[in-house]
Structure 1
Amino acid sequence: MRIKRSMARRAVAALGVLALAGSLAACGDSGDDSASGAKPDKLTGVGPITLATGKDTTGTLNEILADWNKAHPDQKVTLTELPEDADQQRQQMVQNAQTKSDAYTILNLDVVWTSEFAANGWVEQLPEKQFDMSKYLPPVIKTAQYFDKLYAAPYASDGALLYYRTDLLKKAGVDKAPTTWDEMTADCQKVLKLPAGKGMSCYGGQLDKYEGLTVNFSEAVNSAGGEVVGANGKPNVNTPAAKKGLDFLVDGVKNKTIPKDALTWKEEESRRGFESGKVVFLRNWPYCYALMANKKDAGNKVAGKYGVAPIPGLDGPGKSTLGGHNLAISKFAKNKKTALDFIKWFTSEKNERTWLTKNSQAPVYGSLYDDPALQKQFPYLSTLKQSIEKAEPRPAIVNYGDATAAIEEQAYAAISGSKSSAQALKDLQDNLTKITSKDK
């Protein structure tokens, strides 16, 4: 699991910064921060709680929860596992909120969902003074805020990384990772000429029709100098630069640089594709590092044979989408004081270190990226920190579900060949204009 994210969850669509209108503020910021009128520093209720999160594929989560339960026998936390797919996770959380159910106490939100849940009044405002914000990486703080108020605690960050086969590149005479798409394609062609490269494709990502496609599409657009939504909050995706980004994916599938299987890949499918030797290069999140390094079975052909670099772009290093997860307290839950205490404990620097060392999950504390011992164990930490600090955020948009669905629909149509990239971007521009106009 990537306790999602996203995986990915996961997570994962750099649309730019979307300005929300005052009518949205009225929807989510009344100054009365719970259904009972409690202020954020007056959350009440002590007792059992639940943690709703994506499927745990790591095996680590229950170990950490057991530590809490042992120390808090009267305030035990029960794990509620949602589907691995990020879209399905969000759907179940939204349904739970719309019915005002108390089934979920703590929600593990993809960073892009925080504003949506805050604006709709589905999560509690948190007491910011009880979290040491100075220790967090600056980009992750904004993902947990809505109108400058804290509605979730940063739990995991994420930046995209390029995994590459060091053994095959070395055999092909390539001594460093590519920084541009053209370099990556050229390096791959050298590998494919080798006996060891027979049957392989060049590059894989997450191109199934789900949130991961929004992320991959947006990274491609931003890495080509384009944008999906501009700084003024208006869609700006029907541009030559955006077309260059989308065409990187479209042409890749068309000329088989990207395997057609990638159209069915989410995070885990793509990781397994790289592990099994289907692709030379893989765009994925840092959680893959530990899984591929530690997994000992016949299907893992890459252990000890891969490196990590920034994702490439059109003319130089690309721009990652800012991923990660935040923990929020459901507005409709019981035992909110216990929930707050648990979140502070669960997101402690000690537990962040555990997640990093066991599962290579990207921490939210800057100090962990600079720790010499951790850098020795995870040589990519400096690269990951840079990826996160330069990543493009997804928009703080209440109708984000509609926006990401529109992106997925049009991007998939172009990549799968059922629509030209030019038409897909024109249609996406029209769709996003209608969706964002609802927020005014």
Structure 2
Amino acid sequence: MKRALTTVLAVSALLAAGCGGGGSSNTATGDANGRGPIAFATLKDGTGTVPKLVETWNAAHPDETVRIVDLPEGADGQRQQLIQQAQTQSDSYDVITIDLPWTAEFAARRWVTELPKDQFDVDGYFAAPVKGSEYRDKLYAIPHFTGAGMLYYRKDLLDKAGVAVPKTWAELKEACAKVLALPEAAGASCYAGQFDKYEGLAINFAEAVGSAGGEVTDQAGNPKLNTPEAKAGLDLLVNSFHDGTIPAEAITYKEEEGRRAFQQGKLIFHRNWAYIYALMNASDGSSQVPGKFGVTVLPGVNGPGVSMLGGNNLAVSAFSKKQATARDFIKYLTSAETQRTHAKGSAYPMTRPVIYQDPELQAQYPYLQVLEQAINTARPRPELVRYGDASSVIQEQVYAALSGQTSTEQALATMQQKLTEIAQGT
């Protein structure tokens, strides 16, 4: 789940990609009407919920059974394995799980098939995940899991200090000044997100820019990093490291490092995903903060901020010989009934708003209403065929600025130039 801004290639690059540009000359060889047993390449489910859902499908479809294939644990390994299968035009996988920002790449290179919108209840999903499942206004995947960053805070300490839950960065810093003066907060720091040099840093940067009123790219695909808002977003992070709002060790934090720091009482505020809620609320002695924290939306400069959209999509391999069964299985796995069952068995955020209104689930997951609000205002990451390249540029430059190796002005100028080249296919 830890996984965890929208742009389009120039016309010439799109034409090249549509014809197999970027190192692939694939022509789909699958069977759009084929049926039979299929393979489902997906993330390993430690809760055992997905295998149970597959067993239910298999019992009802003895001639079209589903076999689960576990993808590697890390996103990079998952992407590499799926690309290897696609580049060899292998029909080993029928339904595949892809990260939200991979949709454009897989669609442009014709590694996944277009899905007929009239066969899928797209109006029943959150709008942002559906938008992130499209490429050039056509549907190529169905949202399976979604997610948005939230702000975890030490409710017990805020209450003791007599401060309200912050809605802005200024209020967050003011709250920290009061809370950290308490004896109970000795040794703690104010705030941390994910700042190591990986995809999480690109997400945290985009959220900072968005929460300052800017955007990494506009809807036409043009980088917008030469704006006062972009500078304000990056300055916010850089200055927070300099003044100690963010502790120096947070430069090494991914999701788990930050989660452990908050869980051990070392942070007052922490940006992370929904999956950590149950871990931090554990009563088995592994957490020092069960029952002591709350959750709210991310802060912004002038009000509530915005999160980048997380999540995974389900798509049909263009090389599958059993695409009709694959489409039906996706419909089953993402139906409201199946999502409700799935949510009761795991903490993965579902993609249908109706699930968030279920009283039983609201009692099971008290943060659901906050998460729904965050998802409704979340922004998708760039729909780039070369998204990996763009993310790497952002990670390199933002990390250099946070660690004092370059100025915010130079980091933003370099990102603007390189993202423009990526968007133009150069």
State TM-score, norm by structure 2: 0.90
| Equivalence map 1:3-402=2 (5 Å) | 7-8=2-3, 10=4, 15-18=5-8, 21=11, 24=14, 27-28=17-18, 35-36=28-29, 38=31, 42-53=32-43, 55-72=44-61, 75-174=64-163, 176-293=164-281, 295-402=282-389
Give, in whole Å, the separation in 2 of the partners of 1:84 and 1:278. 28
Question: How big is the shift at 1:407?
Answer: 0.7
Q: Structure 1 residues 201 and 319, CA, compared in 2 at 3 Å: closer, same or farther?
A: same
Question: How big is the shift at 1:309?
Answer: 0.6
Question: How big is the shift at 1:93?
Answer: 2.2
Question: How big is the shift at 1:333?
Answer: 3.2
Deviations for 1:143-183, whole angstroms, at most 9, x for unmatched residues?
Answer: 11222222111112222211111112112222x31111121
SS at match of 2:153: strand
Give, in whole Å, the separation in 1 of the partners of 2:408 and 2:286. 36
Question: How big is the shift at 1:336?
Answer: 2.7
SS at match of 1:124: coil
Is the CA contact (8 Å cut-off) linking 2:30 and 2:319 kept in structure 1? no
Question: How big is the shift at 1:29?
Answer: 8.8
SS at match of 1:109: strand
SS at match of 2:204: helix
Gaps of 5+ in 2: 21-25
Q: Structure 1 residues 120 and 292, CA, compared in 2 at 3 Å: closer, same or farther?
A: same
Give, in whole Å, the separation in 1 of the partners of 2:7 and 2:422. 15
Question: How big is the shift at 1:74?
Answer: 5.0
- Of stretches 91-100 and 315-324 in structure 1, the one that deviates more from structure 2 is 91-100
Q: RMSD in angstroms over aligned alpha carbons?
A: 2.5
Q: 1:407 aligns with which of 389, 394, 409?
A: 394
Give, in whole Å, the separation in 2 of the partners of 1:108 and 1:50. 8
Give, in whole Å, the separation in 1 of the partners of 2:341 and 2:15. 37
Q: Structure 1 residues 67 and 259, CA, compared in 2 at 3 Å: closer, same or farther?
A: farther
SS at match of 1:410: helix
SS at match of 1:44: coil
SS at match of 1:114: helix
Amino acid at match of 2:365: F
Give, in whole Å, the separation in 1 of the partners of 2:136 and 2:59. 37
- Of stretches 283-292 and 113-122 in structure 1, the one that deviates more from structure 2 is 283-292
Is the CA contact (8 Å cut-off) linking 1:218 and 1:321 kept in structure 2? yes
Q: Structure 1 residues 226 and 358, CA, compared in 2 at 3 Å: closer, same or farther?
A: same
Amino acid at match of 1:219: E
Give, in whole Å, the separation in 1 of the partners of 2:260 and 2:84. 32
Q: Structure 1 residues 355 and 261, CA, compared in 2 at 3 Å: closer, same or farther?
A: farther
Deviations for 1:234-274, whole angstroms, at most 9, x for unmatched residues?
Answer: 11213322122112222222333223332222223322222
Amino acid at match of 1:207: F
Amino acid at match of 2:40: T
Question: How big is the shift at 1:120?
Answer: 0.6
Give, in whole Å, the separation in 1 of the partners of 2:94 and 2:218. 35
Is the CA contact (8 Å cut-off) linking 1:290 and 1:359 kept in structure 2? no
Gaps of 5+ in 1: none
Give, in whole Å, the separation in 2 of the partners of 1:102 and 1:260. 48
- Of stretches 226-235 and 350-359 in structure 1, the one that deviates more from structure 2 is 350-359
Deviations for 1:55-99, whole angstroms, at most 9, x for unmatched residues?
Answer: 434443333334334444554433333344323322332233223
Amino acid at match of 2:148: G
SS at match of 2:397: helix
Give, in whole Å, the separation in 1 of the partners of 2:258 and 2:56. 33
Q: Structure 1 residues 96 and 415, CA, compared in 2 at 3 Å: closer, same or farther?
A: farther
State TM-score, norm by structure 1: 0.88
Is the CA contact (8 Å cut-off) linking 1:185 and 1:257 kept in structure 2? yes
- Of stretches 159-168 and 385-394 in structure 1, the one that deviates more from structure 2 is 385-394
Give, in whole Å, the separation in 1 of the partners of 2:46 and 2:410. 39
Give, in whole Å, the separation in 2 of the partners of 1:266 and 1:81. 23
SS at match of 1:434: helix
Deviations for 1:195-239, whole angstroms, at most 9, x for unmatched residues?
Answer: 221111111212122211111110001111222112332112133
Question: How big is the shift at 1:384?
Answer: 2.1
Is the CA contact (8 Å cut-off) linking 1:48 and 1:74 kept in structure 2? no
Is the CA contact (8 Å cut-off) linking 2:97 and 2:315 kept in structure 1? yes
Give, in whole Å, the separation in 1 of the partners of 2:402 and 2:85. 34
Amino acid at match of 1:279: L
Deviations for 1:269-298, whole angstroms, at most 9, x for unmatched residues?
Answer: 3222222222111111222223333x3332
Question: How big is the shift at 1:17?
Answer: 4.7
Q: Structure 1 residues 138 and 19, CA, compared in 2 at 3 Å: closer, same or farther?
A: farther
Question: How big is the shift at 1:411?
Answer: 1.0
SS at match of 1:422: helix
Amino acid at match of 2:342: W
Give, in whole Å, the separation in 1 of the partners of 2:246 and 2:67. 41
Is the CA contact (8 Å cut-off) linking 2:149 and 2:273 kept in structure 1? yes
Aligned to 2:23: none
Give, in whole Å, the separation in 2 of the partners of 1:337 and 1:262. 47
